Structure 1
Amino acid sequence: MKILTPILLAVFMCCTSANAQKLYLGGDISLLPSYEKAGVTYCDAKGNPVKPLDFFKEEGWNAIRVRLFVEPDKASAEHKGEGVCQDLNYVARLGQRIKEAGYHFMLDFHYSDTWADPGKQFMPDRWKNVPVQALPDSVYEYTKQTLRYMNEMGATPDLIQVGNEITNGMMWPVAKLTPLGNENWDVLVQLLESGAKACREVCPMAKIIIHTEKAGDWIATKAYYNHLQGLDYDIIGLSYYPMWHRAVGVLAATLDSLAVDFPGKEVMIVETAAYYSHENDRWAKGEEQYGEFYPISVEGQRIFTHELVAELRRHSNVTGLFWWFPEENGSKENSVTDGWLNRGLFDNHTGKVLPAMQELRKFIER
């Protein structure tokens, strides 16, 4: 084997570094300001109080995601009790803190006044009477004005989601669809094109993400992104939750296939989480619900995170991993949400960080 001269070695290392993808590790902390306002205390594993934004960085995070609703004051009381409150001023203030702390900032446009997910993509109240043919212009203007305001506030996003979990379309009923169907794709693509155009114009350095949630269904995922050939975006964003998308091996097959069929696209897991309990969980039907693949326990959550990170490290097309709602912390009376989800990274009784946090940092330690 030839020995590289110092000059050739330097050139090799430089080229290798230039070709390496940047990795993003973080979480969606959209409710953190509400928890801070409520006086909730976050602690490290020894019980010492910590400041979350400082602590996350110590744990290897370099990116933060925040959701944005159009007019969340028009959401139902039930959804407000689940954490719907992120209007433009709220998000701009949080985004400013995120940028000042040195993080990359992912902005998640919901294009709804409330939760947008596979089961609901409600049309924002302000656009309910807008003709279908005018909706792309409405999306363009809203996105453009929002991003201009974020820039002015010192909260320029580095990553932008144009829609949230939109496998079944968005802004129902006009852009409602199914991945394997043929209806309303023209409308959806026009809406996405308008949002992406505004992103490119106002935040030209930001990467655009199209976010779906069928990580456990390759046929649906492939069909969906095939419909977006020609759309201007950079990253395929996936939600992956073991309770809905099965064990990590299913995700692995999807990631392998994405690398083959969409070789020019980065892939990010923009949402993931796993239960460590079902206590005070009004949706749980039993203590072991969703425990088919990973035990509903602190250790089960850690094992899931360990396996997920180990799998993601195998895939060079995967450049990001974000935990959803890591800041959940019910350790103080009069908690921020009605009930607990028990999928965060802090114990709802003590406020102490959970072991899964240590597993997450291994994603970025290459």
Structure 2
Amino acid sequence: MRKVFIILIGTCMALSASAQQRYLGGDLSMLPSYEEAGTVYRDSAGKKVDPLTFLRQQGWNAVRVRLFVDPQYAKKEHQGEGVCQDLDYVIRLSRHVKKADLALMLDFHYSDTWADPAKQFMPKRWKDAAPETLSDSVYAYTRHCLQQMIAAGCTPDMIQVGNEITNGMMWEVGRVNAAGSEGFDVLSRLLRSGVRACRELCPKAKLIIHTEKAGDWAVTKNFYEQMRSCQVDYDIIGLSYYPMWHERLPVLHNTLDSLAVLFPDKEVMIVETAAYYSHERDIWSKGPDQYSEFYPITTEGQRLFTKELMSELRKHKHVTGVFWWFPEENESGRQVTNYWLNRGLFDNHTGRAKPALYELKW
């Protein structure tokens, strides 16, 4: 009897792990802008497709959407790069996501423009606010946005409270020392205020704290230990992982294994990833082979990266999601952005699905 009992327990544990919900998707925040411009999306054979329907057919079950506070105040160059997602825009897109029966991840930037490790600008509406009142502002703003989304029938299933916040957010008030403990008391107050609004309005949503140092274990470890010390409530560790900035896949492997040991109660998601297939019309590139240390800057290089990334992620049972960043880039029609990134999953000349898209599967 004892042997049978042990086998049954082991079987139940295996079933629980294998049955865990895994999400596959992308940040499609620019899709409405492309569709409004009449952009045509095609499969690899050249057949015209509806993007959301097509992506569902490829196994996608989730979409990530970014939200800026007042993007009309963003720099013109940032607007030309795709900064336009105010609450009305996000609600329109999120309705389509829900109608397509896809899970919705809402990404609060708490900025009027790009929020990333190099820039976390204070929104204009709060630039003169006293530091001690900012937590109340974050709470009220987060609550208002979620109320509007719920009323519109697009309640988020997952919510990011901040975007790539290893160095904090809403600078200078919310800046932190990523290698130490300075500033985390203030950042944690801001995060807890956002989290409180999310828990009150969307109690079923899973909450994500997102950083971008997957290639630096010491910094990643410190950040999430600070979150634990400051009693920030969340469900998912969200990571950005780009091969050109965050080291080889074996480094990611070690980070994921270490997170599983130190934070066993947290799921992990790669909430941003992508790889170049070209540097054409890329004003940030210093040459056609920049960032080719690990994968060639070609269509095949992008495909190979995607295949190897997914193979790696399948090894980690606590990794429950992967989201490609800006997969909808498609400049084959009328111009939408000022420059090309060439990291999307559709060809900028033909609008056809890239081979990497077909490798992006659990």
TM-score normalised by the chain length of structure 2: 0.96
Q: Is the 8 A contact 2:303 2:356 kept in 1?
A: yes
Please report how far the alpha carbon of residue 181 of structure 1 lies from its aligned counterpart in structure 2 after TM superposition. 2.5
Amino acid in structure 2 at the alignment position of 1:283 = W
User: Which 5+ residue runs of structure 2 have no aligned equivalent?
Assistant: none
Name the SS for the 2:321 alignment partner. Answer: strand
Q: Is the 8 A contact 2:33 2:336 kept in 1?
A: yes
Please report how far the alpha carbon of residue 16 of structure 1 lies from its aligned counterpart in structure 2 after TM superposition. 4.9
Residue aligning to 1:36: 35
Distance 2:242 2:151 in 1: 36
Distance 1:164 1:358 in 2: 27
Residue aligning to 1:307: 308
Residue aligning to 1:119: 118
Residue aligning to 1:269: 270
Alignment of 1:74 onto 2:73? yes
RMSD: 1.8
- Residue deviations 1:67-95 (CA, integer Å, cap 9, x gap): 00000001010000000000000001111
Q: Is the 8 A contact 2:108 2:160 kept in 1?
A: yes
Distance 1:218 1:14 in 2: 32
Name the SS for the 1:209 alignment partner. Answer: strand
Distance 1:64 1:138 in 2: 27
Please report how far the alpha carbon of residue 15 of structure 1 lies from its aligned counterpart in structure 2 after TM superposition. 6.7
Amino acid in structure 1 at the alignment position of 2:173 = V
> How many pairs align?
357
TM-score normalised by the chain length of structure 1: 0.95
Residue aligning to 2:349: 349
Please report how far the alpha carbon of residue 12 of structure 1 lies from its aligned counterpart in structure 2 after TM superposition. 8.5
Please report how far the alpha carbon of residue 247 of structure 1 lies from its aligned counterpart in structure 2 after TM superposition. 1.4
Distance 1:153 1:14 in 2: 40
Residue aligning to 1:132: 131
Please report how far the alpha carbon of residue 17 of structure 1 lies from its aligned counterpart in structure 2 after TM superposition. 4.2
Distance 2:284 2:270 in 1: 24
- Residue deviations 1:33-81 (CA, integer Å, cap 9, x gap): 0000001100001000000010000000000000000000010100000
Q: Is the 8 A contact 2:181 2:226 kept in 1?
A: no
Name the SS for the 2:56 alignment partner. Answer: helix
Alignment of 1:100 onto 2:102? no
Distance 1:187 1:246 in 2: 31
Residue aligning to 2:166: 167
Amino acid in structure 2 at the alignment position of 1:360 = L
Please report how far the alpha carbon of residue 185 of structure 1 lies from its aligned counterpart in structure 2 after TM superposition. 0.9
Please report how far the alpha carbon of residue 343 of structure 1 lies from its aligned counterpart in structure 2 after TM superposition. 0.1
Q: Is the 8 A contact 2:52 2:100 kept in 1?
A: yes
Which 10-residue stretch deviates more, 105-114 or 180-189? 180-189
Identity across matched positions, percent: 63
Please report how far the alpha carbon of residue 178 of structure 1 lies from its aligned counterpart in structure 2 after TM superposition. 2.2
Q: How does 1:179-218 map to 2 (within 5 A)?
A: 179-218=178-217
Distance 1:112 1:151 in 2: 22
Amino acid in structure 1 at the alignment position of 2:285 = A
- Residue deviations 1:300-357 (CA, integer Å, cap 9, x gap): 0000001100000001110000000000001013x11011000000000000000001
Distance 1:12 1:314 in 2: 19
Q: Is the 8 A contact 2:177 2:183 kept in 1?
A: no
Residue aligning to 2:227: 228
Please report how far the alpha carbon of residue 266 of structure 1 lies from its aligned counterpart in structure 2 after TM superposition. 0.2
Distance 1:236 1:26 in 2: 17
Residue aligning to 2:24: 25
Distance 1:343 1:96 in 2: 26
Residue aligning to 1:56: 55
User: Which 5+ residue runs of structure 1 have no aligned equivalent?
Assistant: none
Alignment of 1:238 onto 2:276? no
Distance 1:100 1:82 in 2: 27
Amino acid in structure 1 at the alignment position of 2:342 = N
Amino acid in structure 2 at the alignment position of 1:337 = T
Distance 1:137 1:171 in 2: 14
Distance 1:61 1:189 in 2: 33
Please report how far the alpha carbon of residue 3 of structure 1 lies from its aligned counterpart in structure 2 after TM superposition. 12
Residue aligning to 1:289: 290
- Residue deviations 1:163-185 (CA, integer Å, cap 9, x gap): 00000000000011121123211
Amino acid in structure 2 at the alignment position of 1:326 = P
Q: Is the 8 A contact 2:180 2:222 kept in 1?
A: no
Distance 1:43 1:182 in 2: 49
Name the SS for the 2:140 alignment partner. Answer: helix
